[in-house]
Amino acid sequence: MKAFNMSNVDVHQFMQALDSCSGDVMLITDEGDKFNLKSKLSQITGLMKLIEGGKLVDAKIYCSNQEDEALLFRLNLFGTVEDVEHIG
């Protein structure tokens, strides 16, 4: 699995994109905390962990599926998923 950092992403669009992913999507912080973002509870916990103490912490996204990785990378790069066909 390749990893990339997420930055300045719209949380609502990010959650929509996660719902469309077919493989595992892991959020791993620099402290070693791991969250499987396919789980709604882990999504909430992981996002709260990212905004610890009012400031963003460093974390990476790992995808087991290459198509999921491409989708989330495009979201991170362009800030929107409007051009992605399988997202409403």
pLDDT digits over 26-58, tens only? 988 888 889 999 999 988 888 887 777 666 667
The reported pTM is 0.75
Cβ contact 65:26 at 8 Å: no
pLDDT digits over 3-18, tens only? 888 776 777 888 889 9
The amino acid occupying position 58 is D
> 3-78: CATH homologous superfamily?
HPr-like (3.30.1340.10)
- Give the pLDDT score at 88: 42
Spatial CB neighbours of 13, under 8 Å, sequence gap ≥ 6: 75, 80, 81
Domain positions in the chain: 3-78
